[in-house]
Each structure stands twice: as structure tokens, then as C-alpha cells.
Amino acid sequence: MEPAASSPSRRTREAAEKTMALLFFLCGMAAVAFVLGICIYLIVSGLPAIRKIGLFPFLFGKTWSPKKELFGILPFLLASIAGASGAVLLGVPVGLLTAVFLSKSAPRRLASVIRTAVELLAGIPSIVYGLVGMIVLVPGIQRTFGLASGAGLLAAVVVLAVMILPAVVSVAETALAAVPREYEEASLALGATWTETVFRVSLPAARSGVATAVVLGVGRAVGEAMAVILVSGNVPNLPGSLFTPVRFLTTAIASEMSYASVGSLHRMALYSIGLVLFLFIMGINVLLRAFLRTDRTSRRRPGKS
């Protein structure tokens, strides 16, 4: 009687397992489908303008003038690269050191307070960052450096550096917390200091998670529009200095899409900017994954020999 009674329950469990496996598969395929859908839409919408303008005039042209039908995005492209690079250079070290402190040495109460502050930073809307930057940061830069206007690349870099902190801190802290305790104990037992253990053992062991944090930070910095449009000056200039008013790729789309007529070359060029943004982020992900794969391979070779 027991095998007969257990058979239906076993079949029920197997059916539930297959159902959940199918559900997980469908969710994973949905994510892939969304990415493919966005990619196809951007390609279909963005390629016509690139064909009419020309790839090199579009990417390397220095003049953006819809009235004259001149659509060169080099100032936008360089401004986005400079802004994202500056934000990463400022935000990633601060975020990593904060993650190290939270995961390795912070008292529980203090760590709880800092995590709450980081979560609040993540929950603040982008437009609020832009408003605070416009009201506080831009006038401060103007007074400090004696400028006619404080809106420019430097203000955008500072705002973006603050905005990427939550992603960098949370992901890096999770990666550091997953490092086996035995690694650190072995390092300390061999005579290494706590600082040496963190930077030579913990961080290298968590480098895949740290790399993910950097990618998320770069993606947030490159893709931000509303906060940047309020503090960058929104002028299509080449970024000659930190104080130059600039326009990013995202702010070009946000500021001009509302009055670009449907079907016009201007509107199609804005879709092309979106395609360039998408390919830029994809390129960063591919390069970083290739770097991590190469680093893992180089680390394994001495062990095999």
C-alpha cells in the first residue's frame, strides 16, 4: 500500500518541478526577447538616418544643426565618454572602499545606518539629483572658479558619480561578502596585514562581482538624462575642459525628441543616437567579459604547468 500511496505524490512533485523549470525558462527567454526586441527596433529605426547622413559624418561630425540638416554627434559622444569616465573615476573608488568597510570592518549598527543611506540614494529620483545639482553644485562651481556659469562637464561628472554609488556599493558588498572566510584567514595566518588581505585576497577573489558593479555604474552614467540635462549646460560643444558646457547623447534625445517632426531626418537621427548608446553599452559589457575571461585564463596557466 505504501508504494501505491507514494506514487501519486511523487508524480505531483515531478510535475511541479517540471512546471517551475518551464516557468524559469520562460522568464529567462522573456528577458532575452526584450533585449532582442529593443535591439531590432533601434536598428530598424536608426539605420535609415545613418545611411542618409553617412556613418563617418554622423559619428565624427562636429556640427549638430537640425535646421541645416547637419547631424554630427562627435561632441555628444565625447561628452558622454568623458562624463562616464569621470564619474567612474570618482564614484567607483569611493563605492568600493565603502563596500569594503561595510562587509569587512564596520560595526553592525553603523553598517545598518550606511546601508540605509545607500538605499535612500538609490531611491531618489534622477530629477531630484539634477535639481539639487542645479541649485547647490552649479552655483558653487561658479563661485569657486569664477566662471560665468557653473553648468558644465564638471557638474555633470560630480552628479553622476553620486548617482552610481548605490549600484557600486550594493553589488561590490555582496561580492565581497561571498568571498570564503578561509581565504582571508589563511592570508592573515601567513603574516599579511588586514589591508594587504583586503586588496590582495578579498578584492581579487571578488573581481567578477566588482566588474559587474563597474558595468552597472558605467551603464547608469552613460544612460542618465534628466539629472545631466540640468547641470551640464546642454550645449553641443566639444568637451575642451571640465568647465565647458556640454550635451550628452542622452540629453540630446531628451531635449529634441519633443519637437522633431515624425518621419523627418532629425527624428531618425535621434533614433540613431539611441542605437549608438545601445551599442556603446553592449561594447563595454563585451570588453569587460573578455577581460575577465582572459584574466581567469592567465591565472590558471601557472597552476596547470
The amino acid at 84: A
The amino acid at 209: G
Q: What is the pLDDT of residue 215?
A: 85
CB 227 within 8 A of CB 130: yes
Place 1 in a pLDDT band, splitting at 50, 70 and 90. Answer: very low
- Exposure of 177 in the CB half-sphere (CA atoms within 13 A): 12
Q: Which tens digit of pLDDT belongs to each residue from 110-121? A: 999 999 999 898
**Any bridge partners for residue 65, and if so which?**
70
Identify which of 126, 152, 124, 125 has the alpha carbon closest to the alpha carbon of residue 140: 152
Distance CA 230, CA 173 (A): 31
Q: Which tens digit of pLDDT belongs to each residue from 254-273? A: 888 888 888 889 999 999 99
User: In the structure grid, which three cell numbers stand for residue 143, read together?
Assistant: 563661485
- The architecture that CATH gives domain 58-304 is Orthogonal Bundle (1.10)
* The model scores a pTM over 0.75: yes
Burial of 27 (0-12, 13-18, 19+ CB in 10 A): exposed
Identify which of 123, 144, 129 has the alpha carbon closest to the alpha carbon of residue 229: 129
Residues written for the chain: 305
